[in-house]
Amino acid sequence: MGKANGQLFEFLAPGEALFSAGTDRQTHTFTTDCLAAPADQPFTIEFDNHDTSLHGNHNIHIYESPKEFIGERVIHGRSITYSVPAMPAGTYLFGCDEHPTLMNGVFIVK
């Protein structure tokens, strides 16, 4: 856990990362709006979808220009491990393609 621009973020170490969507009380939300990963090395994101609502289909999309990472969508009750290729240092955005206005945040690679 770290802090950048006043926001808490989870630092994703190589091979270990945890990230989940929704809780029993909250739907269509990520558990954090700021994530971080090490620069210039591949990393993984563990994505657990706990959203049991009707439209609880989510994914993670990291916006990087011109190359982007688009994660497969995960239905509620399922989890997935995304393998993300090495990214250069920078500040990116991430979001869910199903709910881009509700589920999004800053993705820091450093």
Is the Cβ–Cβ distance between 97 and 73 less than 8 Å? yes
- Kindly state the smallest distance separating residue 88's Cβ from Cu ion, in Å: 27
Instruction: Kindly list the residues in this chain that would bind Cu ion in the complex (CB under 5 A).
Output: 58, 96, 98-99, 103
Is the Cβ–Cβ distance between 2 and 9 less than 8 Å? yes
- Kindly state the smallest distance separating residue 6's Cβ from Cu ion, in Å: 25
Residue 84's closest CA among 30, 32, 57, 44?
A: 44
- Kindly state the smallest distance separating residue 62's Cβ from Cu ion, in Å: 14
Closest residue to bound Cu ion by CB: 96
How far apart CA 57 and CA 4 sit, in angstroms, is: 29
Using the minimum distance from each CB to Cu ion, give the nearer residue, 39 or 97: 97
